[in-house]
Amino acid sequence: MNPGPVWLLLLAGGLAARTPYVPDLKHWRLELTSAPGGWLSERRQQITFKLVDPGDPRPPREPAGRYDPYADAEAYRPPAAEEKTPEQLRRKRQQEEALRLANQWRQRTIQIWFNGEPMAEYAEVNAARSFRVESQDGENRLELLEPESGARVTCSWWVSVSQSRLQVTVLRDFPGNFYPTGELQVVEPDGTLGDYLKATPSGGKIQWMAYSHPAPPAGTYAVRWKTYPWQEPAAVTVQVVLDPGTDREHRWRLNRLILPGSPPTLLGTFDVDP
């Protein structure tokens, strides 16, 4: 038997294995794997999407079930450190850097518009990603775009709940975190600070990352951000909407960089007329 063709096949296979994958962006598509539709009675909605590359030779695995380290103490014990020579360490760094560069194409920024407000979300090709939005009364429209490929997807739904004249919502436009670590605070004109899930005497209420009031008293409101001990630096942006959907509608956007260990920080103020 002539070994020549066998060696040629092995060589070709080895070269193909080392050739970095070049994605064909025109075949990419955005999919909404979980999105609302029709008429709803809940304001807060979770959106799950995926940027799909059908030609991806090694798509990332979906997250497995949560691992319990206490179920097996031996499995939780870290492996003993291995002695490595400077040359082995150099090769390891080179391999890690080569792997990072080979997979750099997977990291993408998705542009999002929700009811006309821009946001951004980091995504990995062929991996599901989720975020939440706070719907408004009436029609809600969501649009996602991956700029380089032009992949785009849109959806809309309607929400029918009791209308709040004042809505203060934390926006998702700080990449890398689902929400910044901390807590939204709104101080009403009489100095009352709303507690989480408890209505103020005047009727204001904070739920998760949103404050609403069906009939806010006139005066100046202060929006603050309370940090936690493990706070990381975060650019917090808050949207304020007064009289939404009417000819009296007013909008404010308050934002500030919050640093670790800072006391409750004033993001800004706004006035409510009678």
pLDDT tens across 21-72, in order?
888 999 999 999 888 887 776 778 889 999 999 998 888 876 543 334 333 4
Residue range 206-231, pLDDT digits in tens: 877 788 888 899 999 999 988 877 76
Look at residue 17 and tell me if it is in a domain: no
Q: Which of 161, 186, 218 lies at the terminal end of a domain, its last residue?
A: 161
Q: How confident is the model at residue 155 (pLDDT cuts 50, 70, 90)?
A: very high
CA distance 102 to 2: 36
CA distance 51 to 68: 30
**What DSSP character marks residue 243?**
S
Q: What is the mean pLDDT of residues 200-208?
A: 85
Average pLDDT value over all residues in the chain: 79
Q: How many distinct structural domains can be found in the chain? A: 2
Of 171, 169, 178, give the one whose Cα is nearest residue 122. Answer: 178
- Residue 239's SS3 state is strand
Give the model's pLDDT for residue 90.
77
Residues 240 and 204 in one domain: yes
Residues 118 and 42 in one domain: yes
Give the model's pLDDT for residue 36.
82
- pLDDT score of 245 more than 90: no
Residues forming a β-bridge with 117: 114
**Residue numbers of the domain that contains 202:** 162-274
Look at residue 85 and tell me if it is in a domain: no
Whether the model clears a pTM of 0.85, i.e. scores above it, the answer is no
Residues 98 and 178 in one domain: no
Residues 167 and 201 in one domain: yes
Residues 151 and 166 in one domain: no
Q: How far is CA 221 from CA 139, 216, 218, 242, 273, in A?
A: 28, 10, 9, 12, 11
Residues 151 and 167 in one domain: no
Compare 206 and 159 and report the one with higher pLDDT.
206
**Is residue 53 within 8 Å of residue 126, measured between CB atoms?**
yes
- pLDDT score of 84 more than 70: yes
